[in-house]
Amino acid sequence: MFLRLIADNFTRRPRRKFLTAAALSLGMAVATAALSVSLDVGDRLSEEFKSLGANLVVTPEADSLPLEIGGVDFRPANSGAYLPESDLPKIKSVFWHNNITAFAPILELRTMLHAVANETNDYRQQSDFGVEVPVIGTWANHGLHLSDGSTFRTGAANTNPWWNITGNWFKDDANECVIGQKLAQRQSLKIGDKVDLEGSELAPRSHAQIDDESALVTIRGNTRFLVTGILASGGPEDDAIIVTLNIAQQLAGKPGQYRKLYVSALTKPEDDFARRDPRVMKPDELERWSCSPYVSSIAYSIKQVLRGSDVRVIRRVADGEGKILARVQTLLWLVTFASLLAAALAVGASSASSVIERRAEIGLMKALGAGSGTVGWLLAAEQLLLAFVGGCIGYALGILLARFLGTKIFGVPPEPSLLVLGVILVLAAAVTLLGSALPLRRAARFDPAPILRGE
């Protein structure tokens, strides 16, 4: 009988029921879109922030140790320690190895640009190009062999995606280079030219290799490289020559070593707990901190596997990601709260009007012996049925809205989630009961006698 009464009452007054369901549907649609985008915004922003480059930098620990006496730093200006390249595969063995998307070692040096070979392979005047130039050794798209037998592709093309290359990156197994655009303009260099650099430890080459343009050629102590691309970075790299790390190690006389390492990792925005010093944490706090993909916890894990290293967070990237993500999520939560409040007010107004119209019906039910609890449950069940219908319609509309917003903002729509559907149905029920609480309470306390007398 109880279910029959609910079904009969649900089909009566369709216009009022439609308005209530429409208010709920619109509120739940906005809430669905906001929740769907909010759950997806972290991953999308992480992908967008990858375009900002690496968020961690690794340097030798010895460089971070001061050598001061009486306030005077006695470290030589050109001093610096190096890190072994052989330890780099260990980075992909840390707990958050899947979050480490790329890394690129850097070795910088300065050497002399002695000569440039043109297309006819004749030399220009050496005096015109006997200038000192910075050289940067790194990986472009390097295949790193890991301990599990797999190969991880990484390099500056991933850690510095804003670097604009006209032409192609150099190959790791060839004597090729990329020239910064400012240096190329000053020296009138273009793709396909060959440049000679002075090195400290160059292996002699046979005469047979001199005719091979892709081979390393030693001429008067110089090493010839083929220019494969022009780099525009907007930074100091525009005045440098970029070569593969192995070649830079030969030029600098530092085999198997690098000076700096940039790491790009997917992280979670930091909160107050993330910024605590792990050295003073309790064991359970350290475990919880280590099991969260904070940029600081990933830096800590990298430091554990790279001996003699100092890992620092590039705050302009990490802080920017955290602040923007927090603001976007706050905005989405405010929009969700506003939509739920509007839906609750609409449901409350509709419920109050419905109770006033049904005073005679409620008075008759109570006169026939229905208790206040029974009347209240009957009216609440009708509202919950409306909440279910409005929540389902709102979820469907919200998914369409979320896909539109996701496509416009991030280029990729968020995927539908059963979790969001469950949350929306619970929110619809809560909003409906909250909005109709006062009218239902008033209806349950109606005195049937004055109502039946027409008062």
**pLDDT tens per residue, range 349-387:** 777 776 666 666 666 666 656 655 566 666 777 777 788
Q: Check: CB of residue 240 under 8 Å from CB of residue 137.
A: no
Q: Which phi and psi angles does 66 have, rounded to 5°?
A: -75, 150
Confidence of residue 22 (pLDDT cuts 50, 70, 90): confident
One domain, residues 115 and 220: yes
Q: Choose one of 274, 295, 313: the last residue of a domain.
A: 313
pLDDT value of residue 404: 84
Looking at 101-110, 143-152, 432-441, which range is the least confident one?
432-441
pLDDT value of residue 85: 93
pLDDT value of residue 324: 66
One domain, residues 303 and 324: no
Taking residue 165's Cβ as centre, other Cβ atoms within 10 Å add up to: 18
Q: Choose one of 287, 313, 339: the last residue of a domain.
A: 313
CA distances from 261 to 83, 177, 389 (A): 9, 20, 56
Higher pLDDT, 304 or 439: 304
Confidence of residue 320 (pLDDT cuts 50, 70, 90): low
One domain, residues 133 and 247: yes
**Using one digit for the tens of pLDDT, what is the confidence trace for 275-296?**
788 888 888 888 888 888 888 8
One domain, residues 330 and 370: yes
The Cα 95–Cα 307 span in angstroms is 17
One domain, residues 207 and 98: yes
Q: Which phi and psi angles does 29 have, rounded to 5°?
A: -65, -45
One domain, residues 309 and 185: yes
Q: Check: CB of residue 125 under 8 Å from CB of residue 263.
A: no
Taking alpha carbons only, the member of 262, 200, 217 closest to residue 237 is 262
The Cα 60–Cα 265 span in angstroms is 20
One domain, residues 182 and 307: yes
Domain limits for position 226: 55-313
User: How many domains is the chain partitioned into structurally?
Assistant: 2
Question: Which residues have a Cβ under 8 Å from the Cβ of 46 and sit 6 or more positions away?
Answer: 266, 267, 321
The Cα 81–Cα 260 span in angstroms is 10
Is residue 24 scored above 70 in pLDDT?
yes
**Using one digit for the tens of pLDDT, what is the confidence trace for 257-277?**
999 999 988 777 666 777 788
The Cα 434–Cα 163 span in angstroms is 55
Relative orientation angle of helices 437-444 and 315-357, to the nearest 10 degrees: 30
Confidence of residue 410 (pLDDT cuts 50, 70, 90): low
**Using one digit for the tens of pLDDT, what is the confidence trace for 413-451?**
777 778 888 888 888 888 888 877 777 676 666 666 565
One domain, residues 75 and 162: yes
CA distances from 318 to 265, 267, 296, 321, 429 (A): 10, 8, 10, 5, 39
Here the tokens at position 394 are 């709102």
One domain, residues 97 and 237: yes
Average pLDDT, the chain: 76
pLDDT value of residue 80: 65
Higher pLDDT, 328 or 31: 31
One domain, residues 19 and 109: no
Q: Choose one of 296, 313, 330: the last residue of a domain.
A: 313
Taking residue 264's Cβ as centre, other Cβ atoms within 10 Å add up to: 25
Is residue 75 scored above 50 in pLDDT?
no
One domain, residues 415 and 365: yes
Confidence of residue 84 (pLDDT cuts 50, 70, 90): very high
Q: Check: CB of residue 137 under 8 Å from CB of residue 107.
A: yes
Q: What is the pTM of this model?
A: 0.62
What's the rounded mean pLDDT across residues 165-186? 90
What's the rounded mean pLDDT across residues 28-35? 85
One domain, residues 20 and 72: no
